[in-house]
A and B are shown apart, each in its own frame.
Chain A
């Protein structure tokens, strides 16, 4: 009834129909949606594993599933969430969709490679999915040797191959982004005029390109050792299992920044748009992204403090780890300062941004805890670490991802989401999240090791609280799923720029035309200059 009258303008969604028009598309926007669909599947798959884990942990006796099953559940939760949800989530969906638009390009530099990346993720995902259905894998997502190479009787190879293949998806996405940012910017789009979302994706792409190949070769060596028993990391042949950990974390620690940097980019956009004010200290926020990307490569050894790493090495890694804290702190302070004398709207994306800043602050500060050597010895491999990284990954990345999804939903689909429901779900997610993960900090400090199927009685109260929180969180996550789908048909039709935002993506129709812009935009202003959109200036405060 809302849709009827006006004949629809041609856009990227209605210019072609049929399954082939999607599976063979080279349009970055359609590929972004393919990714959205894929990672959402993996999100709910990983979520289902998490649910089973939380149910099991309601009682200390381990009487819901067997040990084997439990070990597989937390492994597959980790694999699905990290490699097939968190890493591609923001860059490959929202980044793919909006990075070219934000710099005024018609597409990414290599659209066919972009499509190939998606296929690689799908193929990698199928491998891992096959492993999960065929019997699962029980090594933990970290695949530490020699357990993974010699002792595990589960589907290590299929899972590892899946991760290997999806790694190339990540590499190619990063490569595409870097070239696009260097070579495809519209006239006038200087580096210092780029939206911070683009900056953070550029930094992310650097990590993807420089880090991912190392996990690829590590997996190849793991594969050779498990299949041919040639003993690269095998201690009985004089190999060094800790070397595997070095190589694994050389990628997997920076990978944490692959997950959080794009989220920071989204939050920078949201805070600016919904304060209607240029981000405070734009250059500092931009350079902070780059600093995090570079410094993130120097700190991986802080995962090895008790893994027989040398004492001196541990000291250096602890020292360097604190350097990453500074650019992160700069970002948080600048976001907060942007609010000062702004014009703050409480639209749903902004609520998510607030949630992000708060939870990321807690996650980041507890990161300082675990970087302190004496403290880390006690809490590493306990629930404290689990809580810490869930505050970053779930409280940070997923909050920002949902915020970004709400923010750009009108641009992607041309429809508004229902504001009331969205606010409610944001609130539920925030409360459910804290109830789930805050008790885990205490559990960890009390000494509850992670990956425990059966645990001592005294930890039960906190586990029950955590499981209660998880059920709230699950409701919170299902709600957007429902109302987003609902809005596709019944949502209010969105204009080109419903938020009064300045980004180039808002200067074109919603949904955008096939090549994004009818006329290549020419950029004459800094990012976040709201006088171009709002017109008159009114003193606030």
Chain B
């Protein structure tokens, strides 16, 4: 049996915020629970039946009282709502300079890909004090990425990307759980998040990535799938050039506009006919079944590396070589 504690460790910038909210909720809950329990005890004993013929006076409800005990709880709940919503809203929007990582969930493992090419299974190494943004995909059923010590959780739904971010504040080893039931070995879909001092992380990174950076893998895949036959860099191919595409607004054939984000690129690889760029024919075949979710992520990373903006802003001292946009 391990040691028992009543509060989980606080290891991310979110954790204190969530815990403060918890203290508030707890205080309200304890106050009302004690109030109701004590009232019942007191009233039940004070007014216990002493004779079988007893008949209490009829009391007519008090409008004022009803209003008081509707309005006060309502006010308190609105505080809860606002507080909870603001915590949530922060959790929803990763900062621009967050370090991107990719996660592919499948029955029953977490596959993590670093920009520099490192791959891990059921382990995630991240540097202390750096905001991390995970873009997650599932190959089969719904999973949920959950790190209790960070107080974050996000479902990973097949067919689309979901995002989670956090900024670790304490070095150590923390549980990673799958929180959405995903089949027989659901409880085996667990792992560890290692938060490392930046220099340790640097050392870990340089420990070797046999297959090159993520965007290099993407480039290899891009070539081997013959994407480059049509998507020519100078725009002379049958398909639009992908140079400088990522993050731009694309004009579609049906008149709509769409921002070229991860979801758009993923859709264009798997369902190319869904959104046709203005001025081009729907000639691209689908790559569904030909590329895995990992492969799609590598391709996206490659397309990102084609610019226009650097993949990671505010780079700092970390992982420079992987993040420098390729110039071709």
* B49 in complex: contacting residue of A343, A447, A460, CB < 8 Å: A343
Do A151 and B183 touch across chains, with their CB atoms under 8 A apart? yes
A329 to B65 CA separation, bound complex (whole angstroms): 13
Instruction: Say how far A534's CB is from chain B's closest CB, in angstroms.
Output: 4
Do B49 and A365 touch across chains, with their CB atoms under 8 A apart? no
* A380 in complex: contacting residue of B54, B57, B66, B179, CB < 8 Å: B179
A62 to B83 CA separation, bound complex (whole angstroms): 39
Instruction: Say how far A522's CB is from chain B's closest CB, in angstroms.
Output: 22
Do B185 and A67 touch across chains, with their CB atoms under 8 A apart? yes
Stretch at the interface among A115-123, A161-169, A272-280, A403-411: A272-280
- The reply to whether the CB of B80 lies closer than 8 angstroms to some CB of chain A is yes
A358 to B38 CA separation, bound complex (whole angstroms): 10
Do A375 and B4 touch across chains, with their CB atoms under 8 A apart? no
Do A372 and B2 touch across chains, with their CB atoms under 8 A apart? no
Q: Report B-chain residues with C-beta under 8 Å of the C-beta of A500.
A: 52
A95 to B43 CA separation, bound complex (whole angstroms): 30
Instruction: Say how far A117's CB is from chain B's closest CB, in angstroms.
Output: 32
Residues 328-355 (chain A) with a chain B CB within 8 angstroms: 329-330, 332-334, 336-337, 339-346, 354
Stretch at the interface among B5-13, B246-254, B311-319, B320-328: B5-13
A536 to B62 CA separation, bound complex (whole angstroms): 25
- The reply to whether the CB of A188 lies closer than 8 angstroms to some CB of chain B is no
- The reply to whether the CB of A420 lies closer than 8 angstroms to some CB of chain B is no
Stretch at the interface among B70-78, B208-216, B226-234, B298-306: B70-78
Q: Mark each residue of chain B from 150 to 162: 1 if its CB lies under 8 Å from any CB of chain A, else 0.
A: 0111110111101
Instruction: Say how far A272's CB is from chain B's closest CB, in angstroms.
Output: 11
A325 to B29 CA separation, bound complex (whole angstroms): 13
Q: Which residue of B lies closest to A332 (CB)?
A: B36
Do B61 and A307 touch across chains, with their CB atoms under 8 A apart? no
* A147 in complex: contacting residue of B52, B83, B183, CB < 8 Å: B183
- The reply to whether the CB of B243 lies closer than 8 angstroms to some CB of chain A is no
Main secondary structure of the interface of B (DSSP, over half): mixed
Q: Report B-chain residues with C-beta under 8 Å of the C-beta of A275.
A: 47, 56
Do B155 and A308 touch across chains, with their CB atoms under 8 A apart? yes
- The reply to whether the CB of B186 lies closer than 8 angstroms to some CB of chain A is yes
Q: Report B-chain residues with C-beta under 8 Å of the C-beta of A344.
A: 43-44, 47-49
Do A535 and B91 touch across chains, with their CB atoms under 8 A apart? no
Q: Mark each residue of chain A from 526 to 541: 1 if its CB lies under 8 Å from any CB of chain B, else 0.
A: 0001110011111111
Do B61 and A284 touch across chains, with their CB atoms under 8 A apart? yes
A263 to B29 CA separation, bound complex (whole angstroms): 22
Do A235 and B55 touch across chains, with their CB atoms under 8 A apart? no
Do B149 and A368 touch across chains, with their CB atoms under 8 A apart? no
Do B53 and A446 touch across chains, with their CB atoms under 8 A apart? no
Instruction: Say how far B248's CB is from chain A's closest CB, in angstroms.
Output: 23
How many chain B residues touch A (CB < 8 A): the figure is 92
Stretch at the interface among A35-43, A195-203, A236-244, A481-489: A236-244
Q: Report A-chain residues with C-beta under 8 Å of the C-beta of B55.
A: 276, 343, 530-531, 534-538
Instruction: Say how far A245's CB is from chain B's closest CB, in angstroms.
Output: 9
- The reply to whether the CB of A184 lies closer than 8 angstroms to some CB of chain B is no
Instruction: Say how far A244's CB is from chain B's closest CB, in angstroms.
Output: 10
Do B25 and A369 touch across chains, with their CB atoms under 8 A apart? yes
Do A452 and B153 touch across chains, with their CB atoms under 8 A apart? no
Q: Report B-chain residues with C-beta under 8 Å of the C-beta of A142.
A: 181
- The reply to whether the CB of B236 lies closer than 8 angstroms to some CB of chain A is no
Instruction: Say how far A537's CB is from chain B's closest CB, in angstroms.
Output: 5
Do A346 and B65 touch across chains, with their CB atoms under 8 A apart? no
Q: Report B-chain residues with C-beta under 8 Å of the C-beta of A447.
A: 8, 146, 148-149, 175, 177
Q: Report A-chain residues with C-beta under 8 Å of the C-beta of B4.
A: 458, 461-462
Q: Mark each residue of chain A from 263 to 293: 1 if its CB lies under 8 Å from any CB of chain B, else 0.
A: 0000000000001111011111000000000
Do A374 and B86 touch across chains, with their CB atoms under 8 A apart? yes
Q: Report B-chain residues with C-beta under 8 Å of the C-beta of A278.
A: 58-59
A395 to B297 CA separation, bound complex (whole angstroms): 47
Q: Report A-chain residues with C-beta under 8 Å of the C-beta of B185.
A: 67
Residues 149-194 (chain B) with a chain A CB within 8 angstroms: 149, 151-155, 157-160, 162, 175, 177-188, 190
Specify which of A306, A362, A530 lies most central, judged by the most chain B CB atoms within 10 Å of its CB: A306
Residues of A within 8 A of B (CB): 62, 67-68, 71, 138-140, 142, 144, 146-147, 150-152, 235-236, 238-242, 275-278, 280-284, 305-308, 311, 314-315, 318-319, 322, 325-326, 329-330, 332-334, 336-337, 339-346, 354, 357-358, 361-362, 365-366, 368-369, 371-378, 380-382, 442, 445-447, 449-462, 500, 529-531, 534-541
A-B contact pairs, 5 of them (CB 8 A): A235-B157, A307-B142, A374-B18, A377-B153, A457-B1
